[in-house]
Amino acid sequence: MSDFQIGLVVLGALVLLAVLVQSLWTARANAPRQADNSGDAGEHDGKPNFTEPVFDDSGFTNLNLAVSTPRRPAIDSLIDAVAAVNLDPMVSAVSGDAAVAAFPGSWRVGSKAFLIEGFNADAQEWETPVPGARYMAFQTAVQLANRAGALNDIEYSEFVVKTQAFADAMNATPEFREMRDEVARAKELDHFASQNDAQLGLNLRARHAAWSPGYIAQVAAQHGFVAGQLPGRMVLPASADGLPPLLALTFDSQAALAEDPAQSAIFEIVFHMDVPQVDRAEQAFERMCHAAQAMAQTMDGIVTDDNGQALPVQALESISHELQQLYDRLAERDYPAGSALARRLFS
C-alpha cells in the first residue's frame, strides 16, 4: 500500500472518529437532565409522607358521612337551597342510628351536592348525623351552583324527592321553599361565580436539553413541592393540614410511567393555581412566580404563557394586581378564597 493510500485510510479513520465523537457529544448534550442521586428528591421540608387531600362537595376531606366523629356543619343558605325536616311534635328526638340508616344511596342531585344535617340534642349544634347521637330536628340541602352550572328545575325536583324519602323514614314533615325562587337564586349565584372564577397557569419550557421526571422532581422538591396523587403531578401543600394544595406542578404522565423514566424527555412543565380554592394569605401566586423563575434559572428554561410567549416581570405584576381585585370581590360576597363556601362553589 502506498503512502498516499495509507494517508487516505488514516484521514478517513480520523473523520469517522470525529463524527463519532460529535454524535456522542450531541447525544449527551441533548439527553434528558438526570437527578443528582446524592440526595432523596422525595424527602424535604419535613413532609416526606404528605398525601394530597381529596375533597367532597361540601368542601371537607371526609368522604364517609357515616363516621363516628361528627363532621362540621356544611349547610349554608348562602350556597344551598335548604329544607327543614321537622319531627312529629310527639317525638322529642330521633336516634342517629335511625338517621344514618335512612341516608340516601347517593349524595348527589344531578351535578350538585345533597346534604343532611341533624340538630344534636346534647351538643346543641348542627352536624352530619352519626350513630349513638340523638337529634331534635333535621335539615337537608342541595347546592345552588358549582362549576357544572346552576341548579335547575329537574334537580330541585329530585332534591324534593330525596328529602321527602328521608323525612318519611323519620316520620317527619319537610318544608320546602318555592322552586322558582331557589332556581332564580341559583342562576344569580352561578352568574357571579362564572364572572369571578380564575385558574392561573405558568409554563416552564426547556431552552435546550430536556428534563427527566427525576430531575424535575428533585428541583421542584427544593421549592417545597411533593408528589401528588397522580403520576406527573406534584403539589405545594398548604400551611395547614387538610386544605387543598396551594399549587400544582404537572408534566407528561406517560413519561412518569415509562419503564425507564430516566430516558423520558420532558420539555415542558406547567404550574397551576386554582384561585378560589386557596386562602389569600398564602400568597400562592407570588410563590408560583418565584418557583417558576427560580426553577427556570436552575433548569435552563423559560417561563411562558400557554402560547409559548415569554412572560416578563411586568406581565406577572399586572396579573397579581388583577388577582387582588378578584380576592376583594369574593370577600365582599362572603365567599373569600380558600373558605369552605368558596371551595364548594368553585368545585
CA-CA distance, 133 to 7, in Å (whole number)? 98
Q: What's the pLDDT at 25?
A: 46
In this structure, the number of other CB atoms found within 10 A of the CB of residue 199 comes to 12
pLDDT of 68 > 50? The answer is no
CA-CA distance, 200 to 305, in Å (whole number)? 10
Please write down the long-range contacts of 238-241, taking CB distance under 8 Å and 24 or more positions apart. Answer: 238/278, 238/279, 238/282, 239/282
pLDDT of 39 > 70? The answer is no
pLDDT of 260 > 80? The answer is yes
Lowest-confidence pick of 9-23, 67-81, 298-312, 315-329: 9-23
Tell me how many degrees the CA angle 324-329-334 measures, rounded to the nearest 5. 120
Strand order in the sheet with 199-206: 226-227, 233-236, 247-250, 268-274, 199-206, 301-304
Q: Strand, helix or coil at 242?
A: coil
Q: Strand, helix or coil at 338?
A: coil
The mean predicted confidence, pLDDT, of the chain is 87
Q: What's the pLDDT at 52?
A: 74
Tell me which residue has cell 347517593.
106
Query: Do the domains 80-193 and 196-345 sit in the same CATH topology, yes or no?
Result: yes
**Higher pLDDT pick, 124 / 49:** 124
Based on the number of CB atoms within 10 Å of its own CB, is 186 exposed (0-12), middle (13-18) or buried (19 or more)? buried
Residues 12-41 have a mean pLDDT of 53
Q: Which set of grid coordinates corresponds to residue 181?
A: 325562587
Whether pTM exceeds 0.85: no
Q: What's the pLDDT at 61?
A: 54
Q: What's the pLDDT at 209?
A: 93
Q: Strand, helix or coil at 70?
A: coil
Q: What's the pLDDT at 249?
A: 98
Residues 308-321 have a mean pLDDT of 93
pLDDT of 41 > 90? The answer is no
The one-character DSSP state at 71 is P
pLDDT of 43 > 50? The answer is no
Q: Give which of 237, 343, 346, 248 is closest to 288, Cα–Cα.
A: 248
Cβ neighbours of residue 241 under 8 Å, at least 6 residues apart? none
CA-CA distance, 254 to 251, in Å (whole number)? 9
Lowest-confidence pick of 56-65, 85-94, 124-133, 164-173: 56-65
Virtual torsion, Cα 190, 196, 201, 202, nearest 10 deg = 160
Work out whether the CA dihedral 93, 96, 97, 103 comes out positive or negative: positive
Contact 232, 253 (CB under 8 A): yes
Q: What's the pLDDT at 198?
A: 96
Q: What's the pLDDT at 7?
A: 52
Mention the CATH class of domain 196-345. Answer: alpha beta
Residues of the chain above pLDDT 90, percent: 72
What is the CA 162 to chain-centroid distance, rounded? 29
Q: Give which of 251, 221, 257 is closest to 237, Cα–Cα.
A: 221
Residues 103-110 have a mean pLDDT of 96
Domain boundaries along the sequence of the chain? 80-193, 196-345
Mention the CATH class of domain 80-193. Answer: alpha beta
In this structure, the number of other CB atoms found within 10 A of the CB of residue 170 comes to 21
Cβ neighbours of residue 193 under 8 Å, at least 6 residues apart? 145, 146, 147, 345, 346
> 123-138: per-residue pLDDT in tens?
999 999 999 999 999 9
pLDDT of 87 > 60? The answer is yes
CA-CA distance, 150 to 190, in Å (whole number)? 5
Contact 345, 83 (CB under 8 A): no
> 178-214: per-residue pLDDT in tens?
999 999 999 999 999 999 999 999 999 999 999 999 9
Q: What's the pLDDT at 201?
A: 95
Residues of the chain above pLDDT 70, percent: 81
Using pLDDT thresholds of 50, 70 and 90, give the confidence band for residue 225: very high
